[in-house]
Amino acid sequence: MSLVEVKNLRKIFKDKKLGEIVAVNDISFSFEGGEVFGLLGPNGAGKTTLLRMLSTILSPSGGSAIIGGYDIRENPLEVRSQIGFLTGNTGLYGRLTAYEMLWYIGSLYGMKKEKLKRRCEEVSELLDMKDFLHRKCNHLSTGQKQRVSIGRTIIHDPPVLFLDEPTLGLDVMTSRTIISFIRKAREEGKGILLSTHEMNLVEKLADHISLVHMGKVIASGTLEELQTKTECEYLDDVFLSLIEQEKINEIALYTQNNEFNLS
Amino acid sequence: MKLPFTLRIMNLIFRKELKDTLRDRNILISQFLLPLVLYPLVVIITSTLLTGQIKRAEESISRVYVVNGHLSPILSQIIADTPDFKEITTDDPKRTLEEGNMDLIIFIPKDYTEDPMCDETFQIKFNYNSTSELSLMAKSRIDDLLQKYNDLLVQNRLKSRGLSYEMMRPLKLSGFTVSSKTREAGSMIGGFLPFLIILFTITAGFLPALDVIVGEKERGTLETLLVSRITKCDIVIGKFLAVWTTALLSTFLHLISSTLTFATFAQEVLEKLPISFTWTAFLTVIFLIIPLTGFVCAVIMAVTMIAKSYKEGSNYLSAMTLLMFMPLSIVFSPSLTANYLTSMVPIFNISILFRDILKGDFNPGYTLVTFLTTFLYISMILWVALKLFEQEDILFRETVDVSMPEFLSKKKISRKGRFPSSYEVFVLICISFILFFFVGTRLQFMGFIGGVYASQLLLIFTPAILFLYLWNYDIREILRIRGFSIATLGIIIFLALSGMIFTLQITAFQNVLFPFPSAENILGKLVGILKERNGIIDFLIKFTMIALLPPICEEILFRGVLQSTLEKYQKKGHAIVITAVIFGIFHMNPYRFIPTMIIGLYLGYLAYKTRSIFPGMIVHAINNGLIYLVVYFSLETNPHMKWIVEEGAFLPWYVFVPGILVFFFSIYLLKRFYKDNTVIS
């Protein structure tokens, strides 16, 4: 069995005004430790919803997923100890220091004092956080905040990492730190699910790519496979050529709906 | 059995939240620094101002003008002899009084005489200016002066008739007065103290709860917490404990600060308070603040769960505070006494205990019941909070806000099918409620009949209609302005009559468990006004006031705007129940809450089934109209009729047995007739 195995995962939101919205529509994939799995798609494609389901914050409307041997529906707590989820927004407690933040999250995972202390040292070393370790998160720069966020994601040393837009809004330097961190984690044998709308990040890192659009996987494979399939050299073009048709459909549908509302 | 939470994790969350909260500058200032500074400041400022003013008034000489003073030379002599008074002359005494250049006018009647042979009694009036401290002082002095004058006149009259003054006075009384000013202040503070304590408690949990729940959603840290290896139950309980602790600390700080301040700066006032301050009382109050704070914090937690943003959260909390104040306003009516049942009503129970303990009555039984039931409520509300927290759409919901009124936007959109959001309607109801509470009561105080007209039309009807119109919502559809089958008119009339019987019978049961403060007629003080017979016009004005206006206006706001909107977003049953509960609360009388809510329930069902607003108006009008007619024709003495207006009494069996049967039968008929809500087109 793979480290992460997702089967026909579905999520339907019931919106009071818009009715049912299918945010994730029958998505299946799997990956192993030591692999970076790239989930690429525009904003609103359903990537975050998918990650939220996999990290058991949202319950799926259909399908299943097994992470590190645990089912997300049956053993949500065990699943959570298998994963580190770097959420889209930094999500730090501004009035805690970086160190307190790491300590708090680590202890929530049930880590013992001695072990946690050692792990905090390790993580701050790894992410180069020594300079600001005892400063309150509110006073940190965006890049520093992102490093603290990653730190708290890996504090319990999980075998699986879900990274949601890890380099969003960061400068080149910090981005590079994060990219090298992802590479290091892959070398350590962690399974990484990288969700982003930034093509070059996926191009640089991902062993396997799934293109997500409107809740569905529209193409899947390695970078070379996708290039041959669409006869495009760059991922941007691959992506555009694949979703172009769908986008036209979407716009058409949207206009149609609006006209319907107006009448 | 495995607990749904782990103590270790709860403790972790609790400690982290406490640390986090105590580092928040806003919370530190508002919850901890403010109470420490507030009391000394307020007391010092007010007492300096007050004593200064009283002193000034006491040292002043009261300036009086005597109208027709030429008729009362003796009085003028007395005034001249009294050092506190000075007679002055002026052309326009009234104006001089208003301008504060004079303190008192004494009116001597035109036919007045000081002639000792006269046998008449004369009325002497005086005018003072209640806004002037000096004039008030003159008023308090004038009694002594006039008493002296009166005594002198009596002596003269007796002497001229050859009688001795002592003969008329077998007793000589010597009384004493306490300075009335301090006493008044004392009784005011005594009544106000428990009120203040509860006020702090309610507001103390506000900011911390918003911070740990909504703040976490807004900053995006909630997801971080949710992916940790902890349960939602851990989170809710841990956070609740942190909020509770912060609120408790803040409340205690308020208490300590206010007590110390009073003890240091205003000991005189404290000694004269009509409260008995003992250490037992003090400790019991502290002991009761713990569950009270817990209850309020639990409610605040549950409410903030729904909110997505700080703004939304504080809107909800303000509305909630208003609701929590309702039981408080009743507690301070002295007729209310504690019993085991009142000890089970949240907030109310603790408020009554506070009042009684400060008066010196301490009942351990009620205290224990209060203590235990409050903890029961706390766990129940926390359970609700947890259920809310488990809902996905609340965790990751988009913020709803009151939208701009449509007329402000240039785009013209058809009204058809446009419904407001639940949130907008909620705000509308709150505005109506606040208007009704503050403006309505005042209007009715100024003039009863006009007040009722104005408050129904301006505070209930107009806001609702204006809201629908300006925000461009589908008025016809929302208000259900639609005909209904005349065939069902019979059912509707039966429902109106039997519904009244059903409600009154339930009220009677409630009266056994939770007795009304005094056996009251439904209309209370209104009866006097309604009984007057001043011709047909007057009858019509009052009939409209009782039987037409409230049905029309209240149906539009409640079954119209509120229930229609809720029906759109909620299960129909929920919409009806929520509307009925709000309808009950809106009437601002805890004893009538259950009866009003029941009426709201069947009115809501009727509106939902018939899809028209008119049947509900008819039922509501029959209900109110019947009561008026019974009072107008004085039928309440008739043993067969008096149940209509008597609240809390059991109905004669030959009324309630058929009544209840008819009630359920008409509900059944309604259900049959409007099976799929499609009978009417």
Secondary structure E strands in B296-441: none
In degrees and rounded to multiples of 5, residue A29 shows phi and psi of: -170, 170
The answer, for A44 touching chain B at a CB cutoff of 8 Å, is no
Query: Tokens 């939470």 appear where?
Result: B5
- Name every chain B residue with its beta carbon within 8 A of the beta carbon of A48: none
Q: Which of A59-63, B121-125, B324-328 has the highest mean pLDDT?
A: A59-63
Closest CA to B293 of B380, B375, B219: B375
- Name every chain A residue with its beta carbon within 8 A of the beta carbon of B20: 93, 95-96
Q: Closest Cα of chain A to B20: distance in Å?
A: 6
Q: Closest Cα of chain B to A55: distance in Å?
A: 6
- What is the tens place of the pLDDT at every residue in B72-89? 888 888 888 888 888 888
- What is the tens place of the pLDDT at every residue in B589-625? 767 788 899 999 999 999 998 889 999 999 999 988 8
- Name every chain A residue with its beta carbon within 8 A of the beta carbon of B8: 110
The answer, for A168 touching chain B at a CB cutoff of 8 Å, is no
Per-window interface: B 227-246 vs A, CB < 8 A: 227-231
A16-27 mean pLDDT? 79
Q: Are the beta carbons of B224 and A92 separated by less than 8 Å?
A: yes
Structure-token pair, residue B567: 């029906």
- What is the tens place of the pLDDT at every residue in A72-124? 999 998 999 999 999 877 678 989 999 999 999 999 998 899 999 999 999 99
How many other C-beta atoms lie within 10 A of the C-beta of residue B178?
A: 9
Q: What is the per-residue pLDDT for B399?
A: 44
Q: Are the beta carbons of A108 and B9 separated by less than 8 Å?
A: yes
DSSP 3-state of A10 = strand
Spell B54-66 as b/e; 16+ CB within 10 A means b: eeebeeeebbbbb
CATH among 3.40.50.2300, 1.10.357.10, 3.40.50.1110, 3.40.1710.10 for B60-168: 3.40.1710.10
Q: Closest Cα of chain B to A225: distance in Å?
A: 34
Assign A21 a pLDDT band (cuts: 50, 70, 90): confident
Q: Are the beta carbons of A107 and B12 separated by less than 8 Å?
A: yes
- State the Cα–Cα distance between residues A216 and A23, nearest whole angstrom: 9
B400-422 mean pLDDT? 63
Structure-token pair, residue B114: 């000081």
Per-window interface: A 58-77 vs B, CB < 8 A: 58-59, 77
Q: How many CB pairs under 8 A join A and B?
A: 75
DSSP 3-state of A6 = strand
Q: Are the beta carbons of A77 and B229 separated by less than 8 Å?
A: yes
pLDDT at A158 exceeding the cut of 90: yes
3-state helix, strand, coil in chain B (%, to 5): 70, 5, 25
pLDDT at B180 exceeding the cut of 60: no
Amino acid, single-letter form, for residue A246: E
- Name every chain B residue with its beta carbon within 8 A of the beta carbon of A93: 16, 20, 219, 221
- State the Cα–Cα distance between residues B491 and B489, nearest whole angstrom: 5
Minimum mean pLDDT range among B310-319, B602-611, B657-666:
B310-319
- Name every chain A residue with its beta carbon within 8 A of the beta carbon of B219: 89, 91-94
- For chain B, the straight-line distance linking the first and the last C-alpha, in angstroms and rounded, comes to 57
Pairing of strands A160-164, A83-86: parallel
Nearest CA in chain A to B418: A261
**Are B544 and B448 in contact, with CB atoms under 8 Å apart?**
no
Structure-token pair, residue B611: 């899809």
ipTM: 0.85
Structure-token pair, residue A52: 């939220």
Q: Are the beta carbons of B227 and A95 separated by less than 8 Å?
A: no
Nearest CA in chain A to B11: A108
Q: Closest Cα of chain B to A92: distance in Å?
A: 6
- What is the tens place of the pLDDT at every residue in A164-177? 888 888 888 888 88
Minimum mean pLDDT range among A117-126, A201-210, B188-197, B290-299:
B188-197
The answer, for B415 touching chain A at a CB cutoff of 8 Å, is no
Computed over every residue of chain A, the mean pLDDT equals 85
- State the Cα–Cα distance between residues A148 and A127, nearest whole angstrom: 8
pLDDT at B401 exceeding the cut of 50: no
The answer, for A3 touching chain B at a CB cutoff of 8 Å, is no
Q: Are the beta carbons of A109 and B12 separated by less than 8 Å?
A: no
The answer, for A89 touching chain B at a CB cutoff of 8 Å, is yes
Minimum mean pLDDT range among B325-339, B524-538, B653-667:
B325-339
The answer, for A18 touching chain B at a CB cutoff of 8 Å, is no
pLDDT at B402 exceeding the cut of 50: no
pLDDT at A229 exceeding the cut of 80: no
In angstroms, the Cα distances linking B218 to A89, B260, B310, B319 are 11, 39, 8, 21
The answer, for A142 touching chain B at a CB cutoff of 8 Å, is no
In degrees and rounded to multiples of 5, residue B596 shows phi and psi of: -65, -40
User: What share of chain B in percent tops pLDDT 90?
Assistant: 14
- Name every chain B residue with its beta carbon within 8 A of the beta carbon of A91: 219-224
Q: Are the beta carbons of A108 and B230 separated by less than 8 Å?
A: yes
DSSP 3-state of B5 = coil
Q: Closest Cα of chain B to A57: distance in Å?
A: 6
pLDDT at B400 exceeding the cut of 60: no
pLDDT at B172 exceeding the cut of 70: no
- What is the tens place of the pLDDT at every residue in A40-58? 888 778 888 899 899 998 8
Assign B42 a pLDDT band (cuts: 50, 70, 90): confident
In degrees and rounded to multiples of 5, residue A218 shows phi and psi of: -95, -20
Closest CA to B501 of B634, B654, B629: B654
Nearest CA in chain A to B416: A263
Computed over every residue of chain B, the mean pLDDT equals 79
In degrees and rounded to multiples of 5, residue B112 shows phi and psi of: -70, 145
Q: What is the per-residue pLDDT for A192?
A: 94
pLDDT at B174 exceeding the cut of 60: no
Closest CA to B422 of B569, B600, B605, B579: B569
In angstroms, the Cα distances linking A69 to A64, A81, B224 are 12, 12, 23
Structure-token pair, residue A93: 């407690």
A18-30 mean pLDDT? 84
Q: At a CB cut-off of 8 Å and minimum separation 6, what does B315 contact?
A: B307, B427
Q: Name the residue among B19, B20, B228 with its Cβ closest to that of A108.
A: B228
B105-118 mean pLDDT? 84
Q: Closest Cα of chain B to A227: distance in Å?
A: 36
- What is the tens place of the pLDDT at every residue in B214-258? 888 888 888 888 888 888 898 999 999 999 999 998 888 888 887
The answer, for A108 touching chain B at a CB cutoff of 8 Å, is yes
User: What share of chain B in percent tops pLDDT 70?
Assistant: 81
Domain A4-262 CATH superfamily: P-loop containing nucleotide triphosphate hydrolases (3.40.50.300)
- State the Cα–Cα distance between residues B518 and A178, nearest whole angstrom: 74
Residues of chain B with CATH 3.40.1710.10: 60-168
Q: Are the beta carbons of A96 and B226 separated by less than 8 Å?
A: no
Q: In terms of pLDDT, which residue wins out, B184 or B377?
A: B377
By residue count, chain A amounts to 263
- Name every chain A residue with its beta carbon within 8 A of the beta carbon of B420: none
Q: Closest Cα of chain A to B456: distance in Å?
A: 33
Q: What is the per-residue pLDDT for B187?
A: 43
pLDDT at A263 exceeding the cut of 60: no
**What is the DSSP code string of B595-639?**
HHHHHHHHHHHHHHHH--SHHHHHHHHHHHHHHHHHHHTTGGGST
Assign B106 a pLDDT band (cuts: 50, 70, 90): confident
Minimum mean pLDDT range among A247-261, B14-28, B283-297, B405-419:
A247-261
The one-character DSSP state at A7 is: E
pLDDT at B182 exceeding the cut of 60: no
Q: Are the beta carbons of A87 and B24 separated by less than 8 Å?
A: no
Q: What is the per-residue pLDDT for B203?
A: 75
